């Protein structure tokens, strides 16, 4: 049974009528077209926007090394869970809407993985880690890449008796793959961030990142994945870190860093072209693109009851952004706001639970998936 989506009275008073519809109970989710448990399991991949516990404070990305400490996790779980937010992430709302438990992180061997596994790693890149080492891009201290997550996934399948790199019709593989949703969270933003001010051109990073993602998707499809959702990159120029570093005259019509948003938007355009190619090559699979960029931009432009679009809820330094890269959330110098639901940005790079709720609704019940998520569900229900 899914855990109901709830808000405090204080939160509800801050959200517009449109946004209130987003924060619905499971019964409302059913009314919007999601039947009870259409998938038996979910496999998730990505970076810190999707990671539910594969990293902790000592293994996290640069400058964000307090994820195992309060105030992370205070909004919903009331304790740190190694999620980079005050509460739940998009993937948490997805599994709730699908009447499934929260996904356990792969690296925790003690948790029940009967209903899926989360392979996402905070700080992870699309490009293999050795590339960053070779090019002296020292901001990347996370050795795990998307390739690592694929290796973990294959090891997990092997532990279930499903072996081989291509589609298999064994009973074990069918049990592991046929009724599974593959949720590929945003991946690639770290690749651009780690190469900032480096010697490697952004065009090279883009080419290699797209190649890495498409190679990963090809491997999943060859394995027998039938239902895949791929998130694009959000407009990372709207994140507080970007806003605090870029010159004030580098702004787009949203008030975000224009040069950064242009780069991520182009990345997404190329990715969508590659997904169209996969749809032709694998007509038996349903491949959905989740438009993170425009879903996020829609919130910035329409506000959705958020009072702070760029200022962080948890940080230090005060001023316009309350963000200091040397005093990030969880550090002794930092403090958290009283009402995270009023903020989009949680710690300068990661989002609040309230924002993740809006994004989840935009993907599952809104107009920011192509084809719509309801199309994927109908195909799954038709197949039995």
Q: Which residue is it, tokens 């869970």?
A: 81
Cβ neighbours of 64 (radius 10 Å): 24
361 is catalytic: no
Q: Which of 26, 129, 267, 350 is catalytic?
A: 350
Element (H, E) at 206: helix 202-223
Tell me how far apart the alpha carbons of residues 284 and 290 are, in angstroms, rounded to a whole number.
19
CB 234 within 8 A of CB 264: yes
47 is catalytic: no
How far does Cα 182 stand from its chain's mean position?
A: 13
CA-wise closest residue to 349 among 209, 264, 244, 203: 244
Q: Which of 86, 191, 324, 347 is catalytic?
A: 347
Cβ neighbours of 141 (radius 10 Å): 14
CB 310 within 8 A of CB 251: no
Tell me how far apart the alpha carbons of residues 244 and 183 are, in angstroms, rounded to a whole number.
31
Pull the structure tokens for residue 184. 């590929």
379 CB-near residues (< 8 Å, 6+ apart) = 227, 286
DSSP 86: S
Question: Is 288 in a helix, a strand, or coil?
Answer: strand
Q: Which of 24, 26, 47, 48 is catalytic?
A: 48
Cβ neighbours of 218 (radius 10 Å): 14
Between the two ends of the chain, the Cα-to-Cα distance in Å is 20
Residues forming the active site: 48, 347, 350
């Amino acid at each position: 049974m899914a855990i109901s989506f709830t808000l405090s009275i204080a939160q509800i008073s801050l959200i517009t009528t449109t946004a209130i519809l987003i924060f619905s109970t499971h019964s409302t989710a059913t009314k919007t077209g999601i039947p009870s448990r259409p998938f038996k399991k979910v496999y998730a991949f990505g970076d810190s926007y999707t990671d539910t516990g594969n990293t902790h404070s000592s293994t996290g990305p640069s400058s964000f090394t307090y994820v195992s400490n309060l105030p992370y996790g205070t909004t919903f779980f009331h304790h740190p869970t190694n999620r980079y937010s005050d509460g739940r992430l998009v993937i948490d709302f997805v599994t709730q809407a699908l009447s499934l438990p929260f996904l356990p992180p792969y690296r925790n061997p003690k948790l029940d993985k009967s209903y899926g596994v989360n392979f996402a790693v905070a700080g992870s890149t699309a490009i293999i880690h050795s590339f960053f080492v070779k090019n002296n891009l020292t901001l990347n201290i996370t050795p795990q890449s998307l390739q690592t997550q694929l290796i973990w996934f294959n090891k997990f399948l092997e532990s279930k008796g499903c072996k081989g790199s291509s589609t298999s019709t064994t009973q074990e593989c069918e049990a592991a793959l046929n009724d599974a949703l593959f949720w590929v969270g945003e991946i690639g933003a770290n690749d651009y961030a780690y190469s900032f001010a480096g010697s490697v051109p952004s065009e090279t990073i883009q080419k290699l990142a797209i190649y890495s993602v498409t190679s990963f998707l090809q491997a999943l499809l060859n394995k027998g994945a039938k239902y895949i959702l791929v998130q694009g990159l959000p407009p990372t120029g709207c994140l507080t870190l970007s806003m605090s570093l870029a010159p004030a005259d580098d702004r787009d019509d949203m008030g975000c860093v224009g040069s950064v948003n242009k780069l991520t938007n182009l990345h997404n355009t190329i990715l969508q072209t590659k997904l169209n190619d996969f749809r032709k090559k694998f007509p038996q699979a349903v491949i959905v693109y989740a438009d993170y960029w425009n879903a996020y931009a829609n919130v910035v432009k329409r506000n959705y009851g958020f009072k702070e679009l760029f200022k962080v809820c948890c940080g230090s330094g005060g001023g316009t952004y309350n963000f200091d890269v040397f005093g990030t959330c969880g550090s002794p110098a930092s403090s958290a706001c009283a009402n995270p639901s009023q903020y989009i940005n949680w710690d300068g790079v990661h989002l609040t639970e309230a924002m993740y709720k809006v994004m989840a609704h935009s993907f599952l019940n809104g107009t920011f998936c192509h084809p719509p998520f309801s199309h994927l569900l109908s195909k799954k229900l038709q197949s039995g």
